Amino acid sequence: MFTGHLCDKYGKKRLGSLGLATYGASALLCGVAQTFFQLVVFRVIQGIGLGIFGPAILGLIAQMGEKSKSFSIYRTFQGFGMMIAPILGGILGSLNLSYPFFLSALVSAAGIPTMILISEKKTVAARETFRHSIRDLLSRYSVVMVCLAVFLVEIGFAGFELVIPLIGSSEGFSNVTIGLILSSYFVTFLLFQIPLGVVFEKWRGRFLAAFFALSCVPPFFLLYISKNPVLMAVWMGWLGVTLGAVFVQSGAMIAKSAPSGMESLYMAFFDGVIDLSFPAMPILVTPLLGVDLRSPFLLFALLTSFSTFLLFFQSRERRIPGTEL
């Protein structure tokens, strides 16, 4: 979040280009690392670069008009990259373990000119301290409620890669079958998020987001009772549409709530809260696995039901009492 504040203060394009350059340079260094210690150090630097680039690019997208469509396009291409990267990395890694790092460095270098071409709205540089900016952010009822709602929904997403393979193994599914069940989520995500972005742009996003959150509940129950891999793939594809829409469009809602000149900080907070769902998921899910491998789906349905309530009743105007500056 601190890098998001810096991006707002010193320029999103400037900091984003710096972050991308840092990421690419450290990827190149990873490719030529001679020891495990060097590799770890360069990977840490990569993380720092990504931590600068992420809030910057999200802040730039948050400044664009038609935010629902803008975020749906961005998240779709991001998802496509996440799908194709392991394939390319596996192919190149089979030839030489350094090649995936070299490809990452090359792609990062190619992205810097693109970063420069993105339009950035000129706003008054953030004058508040980081502490005061965070306090103002946390005082916004709508931002807190949306982020909490998406955190609850994303626990289900984070749990897929743990629960589905365990169930598949217990049912005797092959690794290919398990992979196809998991990939059905991403296929429908890529196919439907841009058209849904157009729909969200024309309708009130708050109510649609709540509707799509509620629409996540049935497939979680169906996954709980289904043992047929084809049906499980269908229900995962359903979630790729509904859960994916909640994730993408909630980001657009946060962007609409962000004050001018503070977009990167707000989007960094949003992504940071979502990232917390990944360490939180094992804490919640692991005890349930000892009872029944499918019982986490009931937990995911319950959490998603609560997120529906949060999304429906959040309001853009309200502030949390006691937090005003």
- Cβ distance 123 to 261 under 8 Å? yes
- Cβ distance 62 to 263 under 8 Å? yes
In the block, tokens 């990452």 appear at 104
What per-residue confidence (pLDDT) applies to 315?
A: 52
What per-residue confidence (pLDDT) applies to 8?
A: 86
Distance of alpha carbon 68 from alpha carbon 248, whole angstroms = 8
What per-residue confidence (pLDDT) applies to 182?
A: 93
Are 90 and 200 contained in the same domain?
no
Are 145 and 270 contained in the same domain?
yes
Specify the DSSP class assigned to residue 319.
Answer: B
What per-residue confidence (pLDDT) applies to 26?
A: 95
Kindly report the backbone phi and psi dihedral angles of residue 319, in degrees, each rounded to the nearest multiple of 5, phi listed first. -120, 150
Which amino acid, one-letter code, is at 306? F
Nearest CA to 274 out of 239, 247, 306, 240 is that of 247
Are 83 and 198 contained in the same domain?
no
Residue 132 lies in a domain: no
Number of domains the chain contains: 2
In the block, tokens 């890694």 appear at 93
- By CB atoms closer than 10 A (0-12, 13-18, 19+), residue 91 is exposed
Distance of alpha carbon 21 from alpha carbon 110, whole angstroms = 10
What per-residue confidence (pLDDT) applies to 321?
A: 43
Nearest CA to 224 out of 165, 153, 299, 174 is that of 299
Are 74 and 148 contained in the same domain?
no
In the block, tokens 């001679």 appear at 34
Q: What's the angle, vertex CA 131, arms to CA 279 and CA 146, rounded to 5?
A: 50
Residue 319 lies in a domain: no
In the predicted model, residues of the chain with pLDDT beneath 50 are: 316-325
- Cβ distance 21 to 108 under 8 Å? yes
Residue 325 lies in a domain: no
Distance of alpha carbon 25 from alpha carbon 31, whole angstroms = 10
Are 145 and 287 contained in the same domain?
yes
> For 238-293, how does the pLDDT look when each residue is reduced to its tens digit (9 = 90+)?
999 999 999 999 999 999 889 888 999 999 999 999 999 999 999 999 999 988 99
Are 85 and 177 contained in the same domain?
no
Are 19 and 154 contained in the same domain?
no
Q: What is the CATH number of the domain that holds 203?
A: 1.20.1250.20
Tell me the residue range of the domain where 29 lies.
2-117
> For 81-121, how does the pLDDT look when each residue is reduced to its tens digit (9 = 90+)?
888 888 888 899 889 989 999 999 999 999 888 888 888 87
Distance of alpha carbon 84 from alpha carbon 46, whole angstroms = 20
Ramachandran class of 128: left when φ > 0, alpha when ψ lies in -120 to 50, beta otherwise:
beta
Residue 219 lies in a domain: yes
- Cβ distance 32 to 65 under 8 Å? no
Are 165 and 256 contained in the same domain?
yes
